[in-house]
Amino acid sequence: MTDCCIVGGGVIGLSIARELAGRGLTVRALARDAARDTTSWAAAGILPPAPQQPGLSPNAALTAWSDRLMREWAADLLVETGIDVGLRECGGLHVAATAAALERLRGTADTWRRRGARCDWLDAAALAACEPALAGAVAAGHLLGGFVLPGELQVRPSRLLDALERSCELRGVVIETADVARIEVRDGRVTGVVVDGRPGAETVQAAAYVLAAGAWTERLAAPLGLRLETRPIRGQIVMLRLPRPVLGRVVNRGLDYLVPRDDGRLLVGSTLEDAGFDPEPTATTIERLQGVARDLLGDAAEAPVERVWAGLRPGSADGLPTIGRAPGIRNAFVAAGHFRAGIHQSAGTAVLVADLVTGRPPTLDPSPFAADRPPAPPGPDSVAAMLARAAGVDA
Minimum distance from CB of 157 to ligand FAD (Å)?
7
Amino acid present at 261: R
Residues in the chain: 395
Kindly state whether residue 344 participates in binding ligand FAD, applying the rule CB under 6 A.
Answer: yes
Q: Considering only residues 324, 342, 348, 368, which one is a binding residue for ligand FAD as defined by CB under 6 A?
A: 342
Closest CB 46 distance from ligand FAD, rounded Å: 4
- Residue number, 146 or 337, with CB nearest to ligand FAD: 337
Q: How would you classify residue 188: left for phi > 0, otherwise alpha for psi between -120 and 50, otherwise beta? A: left
Shortest distance, position 103 Cβ to ligand FAD, whole Å = 26
Work out how close the CB of 135 gets to ligand FAD at its nearest, in angstroms, rounded to a whole number.
26
252 contacts ligand FAD (rule: CB under 6 A): no
Residues 277, 215 contacting (CB under 8 angstroms)? yes
Q: Closer to ligand FAD by CB, 124 or 250: give it.
A: 250
DSSP class per residue in 230-271? --EEEEEEEEEE-SS---SSEEEETTEEEEE-TTSEEEEE--
Q: Hey, which residues does 121 pair with through a beta bridge?
A: 147
Please state, in angstroms and rounded to a whole number, the distance separating the CA atoms of residues 138 and 310. 30
Binding segment for ligand FAD (CB under 6 A), chosen from 87-95, 106-114, 197-205, 342-350, is: 342-350
CB of 343 to ligand FAD, least distance (A): 3
Task: Considering only the stretches 28-36, 89-97, 241-249, 385-393, report the one whose residues sit in contact with ligand FAD under the rule CB under 6 A.
Answer: 28-36
Q: How far is the CB of 47 from ligand FAD (least distance, A)?
A: 6
The binder of ligand FAD chosen from 27, 28, 45, 96 (CB under 6 A) = 45
Q: What is the DSSP string of 10-45?
A: SHHHHHHHHHHHHTT--EEEEESS-GGGSHHHH---
Q: Which is nearer to ligand FAD, 270 or 331 (CB)?
A: 270
Q: Which stretch binds ligand FAD (CB under 6 A): 20-28, 32-40, 104-112, 292-300?
A: 32-40
**Beta carbons within 8 Å of 59's beta carbon, 6+ residues apart:** 319, 320, 321, 341, 379, 381
311 touches ligand FAD (CB under 6 A): yes
Pick one of 5, 6, 9, 382: the residue that binds ligand FAD (CB under 6 A): 9
Which of 209, 216, 333, 369 touches ligand FAD (CB under 6 A)?
Answer: 216
Residue window 254-293: x/- pattern of binding to ligand FAD, with contact defined by CB under 6 A: ---------------xx-----------------------
Q: Is the separation of the CB atoms in 65 and 355 below 8 Å?
A: no
Q: Which H, E and C letters describe 101-143, residue by residue?
A: HHHHHHHHHHHHHHCCCCCEEEEHHHHHHHCHHHHHHHHCCCC
Site string for ligand FAD, 172-211 (x = CB under 6 A): ------xxx-------------------------------
Out of 105, 308, 343, 364, the only residue in the binding site for ligand FAD (CB under 6 A) is: 343
* Count of other CB atoms within 10 angstroms of residue 337: 29
- For 299, phi then psi, to 5°, come to -60, -25
Stretch that binds ligand FAD, among 38-46, 82-90, 360-368, 375-383 (CB under 6 A): 38-46
The sign one gets for the Cα dihedral 268, 274, 275, 278 is positive
Query: Which of 229, 227, 186, 230 shows the shortest CA–CA distance to 327?
Result: 227
Angle between helical axes of 58-81 and 346-358 (0-180°, round to 10) = 90
Q: Which of 6, 17, 27, 43 binds ligand FAD (CB under 6 A)?
A: 43
Cβ neighbour number for residue 139 with a 10 Å cutoff: 12
Provide the minimum distance between the beta carbon of 147 and ligand FAD in the complex, in angstroms, as a whole number: 19
In the range 76-135, which residues lie near ligand FAD by CB under 6 A? Answer: none
**Of 5, 6, 7, 119, the one binding ligand FAD by CB under 6 A:** 7
Strand partners, 211: 7, 334
Q: Which positions lie near ligand FAD, rule CB under 6 A?
A: 7-13, 30-33, 38-40, 42-46, 178-180, 212-216, 220, 235, 237, 269-270, 311, 313-314, 336, 338-344
